[in-house]
A and B are shown apart, each in its own frame.
Chain A
């Protein structure tokens, strides 16, 4: 993990935040509520929730590009230890589970910090460009947004690593990111079958489609679909992260190292 250029990654977070703030936060009036800004960062257009038309879903996929960059960058975090220096790493850490837990902690912290820097940049740029009004609902939605995106990015990054180790190759990125892009495309099925909403994990990232038990949040949300709740989406993402972490632990315990040392020569 320490070998990853973390400074570069945080620069990417700042640049991504800048791009998101300029391209996606565009209110009709000179002032803007924090809740409106947060909703726009999860696909909404002004006060309207993300639609399921082709241009809007493509725009939503572009919104996820900073997360895909993170997933690509840290997609080799665990995998590289198995194909380059696993013997040296694991001889220093005879307890692989301890090593795995430490790596997971690093990944969670870095994903969280990445999201924080990205959003802080968006908020700073928006404050400079418009009059940003911090409202109570906005603060709660922003916290949900940070946690949902952190957990999702963490799960997907870990999944890329796990699949890479299992299949001893780096095609995992294609399957995981490709899977997310296919999921975004499949959101069009919601028009025909509303069940496609609950079965599609990407739908849980769209804050505008959610409802809440808190009245203050419901006032700023106008979901076109019923059945998605912020708390349950957060629980689902926590569950997903734990599940993938457990799978990873089992795999790391069983797997020693990748015999074909392909990545070594270009280090």
Chain B
């Protein structure tokens, strides 16, 4: 009996694993994912060519650090804020596009019933959340990882300049570095720091994508268009809140935590609580959907 139940569990896990892979592959080929990937790719290419044209002929000693020229680098704002501003404005609606609508779409065409009958509602829902997370994470981080590689090829790797034009030993610069997330990691290896930061951007995006799917499973939404709102309002709320807080307090703006080399004062606790709340909501949606199945 125990062996049977153990075998069943292994079978369930295998099925779940396979379902996640199949759904992720399927979602990556969808229009929304391709569109979002293209949008981010255009943005990074604009930034990349902008950098190429602007910094051609610079001496290595005058050149800025290649990682600080990335689209995800907040440090770039000191030189030119165009692409960063565009990214900050579009991210709240782009992040939903790759897979945020997948659950509501499938429930509209009856696909969910077929999937639930094959792998069970619990497995279907879990695989949907995880595949959405994976798809959004891949789509949102891949273009920026490409840019990271392009910058490593195009710009001298031993350049160390900061776009604020502060010297590396100036007190202001040292203070601004201390305000980065995990400053010791940055000091040890800026390249690894940028890679890890880009992956964190992807993970956070994945959580937001899964949050949208969780939202659509908990609340009855009539039209897909309304699913743009939860993440859009959530992220914009963090831009509104500082208006109510006294000046010189730590930042709560979402982009201060997600963009690289951001020198605004931050709270690690705020970031952890935010991530935990997102994960908590996604978990609650999963548990409540399990209950729905038994009812």
A contact set with B: CB distance below 8 Å: 19, 22-24, 26, 53-54, 57-59, 61-62, 65, 68-69, 72-73, 75-76, 80, 160, 170, 173-174, 177-178, 181-182, 184-185, 188-189, 262-267
Contacts of B226 in A (CB 8 A): 72-73
B12: interface (CB < 8 Å): no
Give Cα A19–Cα B226 distance, bound, in whole angstroms. Answer: 21
Interface of A is mostly: helix
B97: interface (CB < 8 Å): yes
Q: Report yes or no: A266 in contact with B244, Cβ–Cβ below 8 A.
A: no
B contact set with A: CB distance below 8 Å: 77, 81-82, 84-86, 88-90, 93-94, 97, 104, 107-110, 220-226, 228-229, 232-233, 236, 239-240, 243-244
Q: Report yes or no: B236 in contact with A185, Cβ–Cβ below 8 A.
A: no
Give Cα A29–Cα B203 distance, bound, in whole angstroms. Answer: 45
Given A54-B77, A54-B84, does the pair A22, B244 have CB atoms closer than 8 Å?
yes
Give Cα A48–Cα B239 distance, bound, in whole angstroms. Answer: 21
**Separation in Å of the B47 CB from the closest CB of chain A?**
13
Given A170-B223, A181-B89, does the pair A24, B81 have CB atoms closer than 8 Å?
no
Given A22-B244, A185-B82, does the pair A267, B222 have CB atoms closer than 8 Å?
yes
Other than the known A26-B243, A170-B223, what 6 A-B pairs have Cβ atoms closer than 8 Å? A54-B88, A62-B239, A72-B229, A76-B222, A170-B225, A189-B82
Given A54-B85, A65-B236, A266-B104, does the pair A177, B93 have CB atoms closer than 8 Å?
yes
Q: Report yes or no: B233 in contact with A173, Cβ–Cβ below 8 A.
A: no
Q: Report yes or no: A263 in contact with B223, Cβ–Cβ below 8 A.
A: yes
Q: Report yes or no: B240 in contact with A62, Cβ–Cβ below 8 A.
A: yes
Contacts of A182 in B (CB 8 A): 86, 89-90
Q: Which residue of B lies closest to A73 (CB)?
A: B226
**Separation in Å of the B238 CB from the closest CB of chain A?**
10
Give Cα A38–Cα B91 distance, bound, in whole angstroms. Answer: 29
Give Cα A265–Cα B86 distance, bound, in whole angstroms. Answer: 36
Given A24-B243, A263-B108, does the pair A69, B229 have CB atoms closer than 8 Å?
yes
Given A65-B233, A262-B109, A266-B222, does the pair A178, B93 have CB atoms closer than 8 Å?
yes
Contacts of A62 in B (CB 8 A): 236, 239-240
Provide 27 A-B residue pairs closer than 8 Å at the C-beta atoms, listed in order of the A residue: A19-B240, A22-B244, A23-B244, A54-B77, A54-B81, A54-B84, A54-B85, A58-B88, A58-B89, A65-B232, A68-B232, A72-B225, A73-B226, A75-B225, A80-B223, A160-B225, A170-B225, A177-B228, A178-B90, A178-B93, A178-B94, A188-B81, A188-B82, A262-B109, A265-B108, A266-B220, A266-B222
Q: Report yes or no: B110 in contact with A265, Cβ–Cβ below 8 A.
A: yes
